[in-house]
Structure 1
Amino acid sequence: MKTVEDVLNALDELTGGRVIKSLNDITKGEHPFVIMKTSNIPGKEIIETPGLVYGEMKKEVKKIAVAMTMTEGCIELAGATGVDAIVAHHPIAEAANSGGVILKNYLDLYNIAAFELHEAFHGLHPGIPFLHGHKVYRTEVSYGGVHGNILYVGKVIPEVNTLGDILTRLDNYMGLQQEDDLLHTEKEIRNISSLTETSTVTRGRIVYGEETSPVNNVVHIFPHTGFSPDHLRQVIKEHPEADTVLASISRVYNGHPLIETAKELGLNFIIGNCHVLEILENGLPLAYALDMLLPDVEVVVFRERVTSIFINEMGSPHLKKYAEEMATGYLLKKTAVNTL
Structure 2
Amino acid sequence: MATVRDVVKALDDITGGRVLCRPEDVTLGRHPFMIMKSSGIPGKEVIETPGLVYGDPNWPVRKVAVAMTLSEQDIELAQATGVDAIIAHHPIADAASSGGVTLKHYLDLYGIAVLELHEAFHGLHPGIPALHGHEVYYVNTHFGGLEGNVLYTGMALPGIKTLGDIIVRLSGYMGYEQDDALLENERIVYGSSLLQESGQATRARIVLGERSTPVKHILHIFPHTGFTAEHLREAVRLFPDADTVIASISRLRPGHPLIQTAKELGLNMMFGNSHALEIFENGLPLACALDKLLSDVEVAVFRERVVSMPLQAAGCTAIRTYGQEMALSHLVRKVPV
TM-score by length of 1: 0.96
Alignment of 1:221-300 (within 5 A): 221-300=221-300
Alignment of 1:197-216 (within 5 A): 197-216=197-216
Name the aligned partner's letter for residue 233 of structure 1.
R
CA distance in 2, matches of 1:30, 1:314: 48
* 1:3 and 2:17 matched: no
- Mark the CA change 1:179 to 1:278 in structure 2 (over 3 Å): closer, same or farther: same
Quick check: 2:141–2:150 contact (8 Å CA) kept in 1?
Answer: yes
CA distance in 2, matches of 1:297, 1:196: 35
CA distance in 2, matches of 1:141, 1:19: 19
User: What secondary structure is seen at the aligned counterpart in 2 of 1:323?
Assistant: helix
Name the aligned partner's letter for residue 220 of structure 1.
H
How many Å apart are 1:158 and its aligned residue? 0.5
- Mark the CA change 1:13 to 1:140 in structure 2 (over 3 Å): closer, same or farther: same
> Partner residue of 1:337?
none
Alignment of 1:175-186 (within 5 A): 175-186=175-186
Quick check: 1:122–1:141 contact (8 Å CA) kept in 2?
Answer: no
Gaps of at least 5 residues in structure 1 are 335-340
Cα deviation, 1:244-272, whole Å, max 9, x if unaligned, reads: 00000111122011101111111100110
Q: How many pairs are equivalent?
A: 334
- Mark the CA change 1:147 to 1:25 in structure 2 (over 3 Å): closer, same or farther: farther
Cα deviation, 1:309-336, whole Å, max 9, x if unaligned, reads: 11112122221111111111101139xx
How many Å apart are 1:20 and its aligned residue? 1.3
CA distance in 1, matches of 2:70, 2:329: 35
Moved more, 188-197 or 139-148: 139-148
* 1:156 and 2:192 matched: no
CA distance in 1, matches of 2:310, 2:84: 37
Q: Over the residues paired in the alignment, what is the CA RMSD in angstroms? A: 1.1
User: What secondary structure is seen at the aligned counterpart in 1 of 2:119?
Assistant: helix
How many Å apart are 1:24 and its aligned residue? 4.5
User: What secondary structure is seen at the aligned counterpart in 1 of 2:26?
Assistant: helix
> Partner residue of 2:110?
110
- Mark the CA change 1:28 to 1:44 in structure 2 (over 3 Å): closer, same or farther: closer
> Partner residue of 2:332?
332
User: What secondary structure is seen at the aligned counterpart in 2 of 1:278?
Assistant: helix
Name the aligned partner's letter for residue 261 of structure 1.
T
User: What secondary structure is seen at the aligned counterpart in 1 of 2:206?
Assistant: strand
CA distance in 1, matches of 2:141, 2:78: 32
User: What secondary structure is seen at the aligned counterpart in 2 of 1:288?
Assistant: helix
CA distance in 2, matches of 1:28, 1:94: 18
User: What secondary structure is seen at the aligned counterpart in 2 of 1:122?
Assistant: coil
TM-score by length of 2: 0.97
Cα deviation, 1:129-184, whole Å, max 9, x if unaligned, reads: 00000001111222222222121111010110000000010001100111111111
- Moved segments of 4+, more than 6 Å: none
Moved more, 277-286 or 144-153: 144-153
CA distance in 2, matches of 1:84, 1:316: 33
* 1:38 and 2:38 matched: yes
How many Å apart are 1:23 and its aligned residue? 4.2
How many Å apart are 1:25 and its aligned residue? 3.3
How many Å apart are 1:28 and its aligned residue? 4.8
> Partner residue of 1:338?
none
Cα deviation, 1:286-330, whole Å, max 9, x if unaligned, reads: 000000010010001001110111111212222111111111110
